[in-house]
Structure 1
């Protein structure tokens, strides 16, 4: 099990706090410090869909030029953008038992962990 994201992201903080409070010591992969791997992105996109992984609601997306947004209109373009701008990746990404779970909601994690 591993949690991926950016440590100062509010949603990532909530997920990490929930996991810790429920006794789960989960390794954390910091996109900014440890980078993002293209093969990992393709794997997550294959399972969750590139549209779900690309965060079009965040500040980073809103600050992009129209040309950059248009270039992310397919999987290859979205992956290129996520490699260049990891903060446009939906956070957190929880990898558990070979499955990827995007975002955090307490009910979602309760279902996942049977808490």
Structure 2
């Protein structure tokens, strides 16, 4: 993350292994969500420049958008018709989010549901 006023690098997010396809910020600016060509979706804590969570899907993500309430994430994928909706489990689990932060290396593999 680059500060265009001060002209300096202020945050560096590490762990990405392929070209980024999309990024978005949460409504409150605390999270940065990124997707990449390798199918990885990562959620970052902006103030700590640290990964909160990560999933890997079997089809590359082309676009993503987080709802203003931060309860639903929408993604689109290569060669897939439709929009996939992901629920923010941390919001509905009742537990503290801080204790569930990923180590930066934890990536959950998820298969997209098939539709016929």
- With normalisation by structure 2, the TM-score equals 0.24
Structure showing greater relative contact order (alpha-carbon pairs closer than 8 Å, 6 or more residues apart): 1
The structure with the greater share of residues assigned to strand is 2
- With normalisation by structure 1, the TM-score equals 0.24
